A = this chain, B = another copy of it.
Amino acid sequence: MVDETALPQQLWDFVYAYDAAYDRAARSAGLSAAQACLLKEVVDAPRSMSELAASLLCDASNVTQLVTRLEARGLVRREPGQDRRSKRVAITAGGIEMVDRVRGAFTFPQDRLARLPLESRRELSALLDAMRD
């Protein structure tokens, strides 16, 4: 376990800025970050509601609402699943276009990263290096 004290405050700042950048990209496409995340999860293959809850780290009832909103906009489709209880969420052409838009709008928060003290960037690099082994 990596000690928390070894993590520079600036690493959190970087994550925060990265997150905000993603949020901006999603919003520029007319989506919330949560909606964009869900679309990304189903862009390659359909997923069941429970699979989505697991990978999005949220409750199933939340997925229900997210999917309902996305379905109302024609970006995903509920399809019958394996047994008659489960459903698969499949992306539509419109949904794929949205994913592409978000990707295109995303810009790496280089300015924030560049503002990190040398020391912090070194620490982060070292942290990653240590994990290679």
Q: What does DSSP make chain A's interface, helix, strand, loop or mixed? A: helix
Q: Is A7 an interface residue (CB 8 A)?
A: yes
Q: Are A103 and B15 in contact (CB under 8 A)?
A: no
**0/1 per residue, A41-64, Cβ < 8 Å to B?**
000000000000000010000000
Residue of B2, B18, B106, B113 near A131 (CB, 8 A) is: B113
- Please tell me the size bucket of the interface on A: 20 to 34
Q: Is A124 an interface residue (CB 8 A)?
A: yes
Which A residues contact B (CB, under 8 angstroms)? 1-2, 4, 7, 12, 15-16, 18-20, 22, 37, 57, 103-104, 106-108, 110, 113-114, 116, 118, 121-122, 124-125, 128-129, 131-132
